[in-house]
Amino acid sequence: VPRNYALAWGFCTAFIPNTDGNIIADRMQSYLRLQSIHAIFNKQHANAFCKSMDRVTFRICLFSGRGDYAHGVIVEVRRYSGDSLAFFRYRCAIMRIVQARELSIEKAVVKANSKRVNALPLLSIDVDDKEEHRYLCKLALEDVLCLLKKDQHGPLLLAMQSLCNLTDAAKSGNFIAQDASIRLLSDCNGDKKLLNAECTGGMIMEHLKKCLETYQQSTPVQNDEII
């Protein structure tokens, strides 16, 4: 990993010990081919710029570790644009494959695609589906919180896009949009030190308030603009 390079936060980066980089690259290439994801590979820099059929663009990078991580490969999946929930499914499948948590790539693809919200009915959701959707929403909000903690323009923009997609019923479904909104409006009983799943939404709102205050301070309203 380059010394001045900041790896993606949260679950977008994983360390794969005692595994050759060529094996990991073959696994990812097979997954991308099965999913019909267009990829431009750069062998010199060990990365691939990917664009899915639903217009999600992301990059997969392989890094050799240093020091305590010299015995493995670091895998990073970084989103550039597109629907955050769709990227979440791709990222989950890729990480399961590179960590060999599935017996086959086809099985990982089926598990990732089983979470496609748009393919599920928006009404009459079963109890099991509701629990799965809550879990999906919880992980998506945790990713948003990780992006907001970066306190940089790029991650902030991705976080805002993710929130827009999560709370838009047309993109994420009625149930997830409602669950995400409820989590965002939760204040964790005023305890900001808690970092569990129940107060992730409250922590996100605190970060958004700070961003808004910073923006208002940097762009003061002139007297002649007030009518």
Rounded mean pLDDT, 19-48: 90
Domain boundaries, the chain: 1-115, 119-221
* pLDDT value of position 194: 46
8-33 pLDDT, tens digit each: 877 788 898 988 888 899 988 888 98
Give residue 124's pLDDT band: very low, low, confident or very high (50, 70, 90): very low
CB 41 within 8 A of CB 60: no
User: What CATH topology corresponds to 1-115?
Assistant: TATA-Binding Protein (3.30.310)
Rounded mean pLDDT, 47-53: 93
Integer angstrom CA distances of residue 24 from 49, 57, 73: 16, 20, 9
The answer to whether the predicted template modeling score (pTM) of the entire model surpasses 0.75 is no
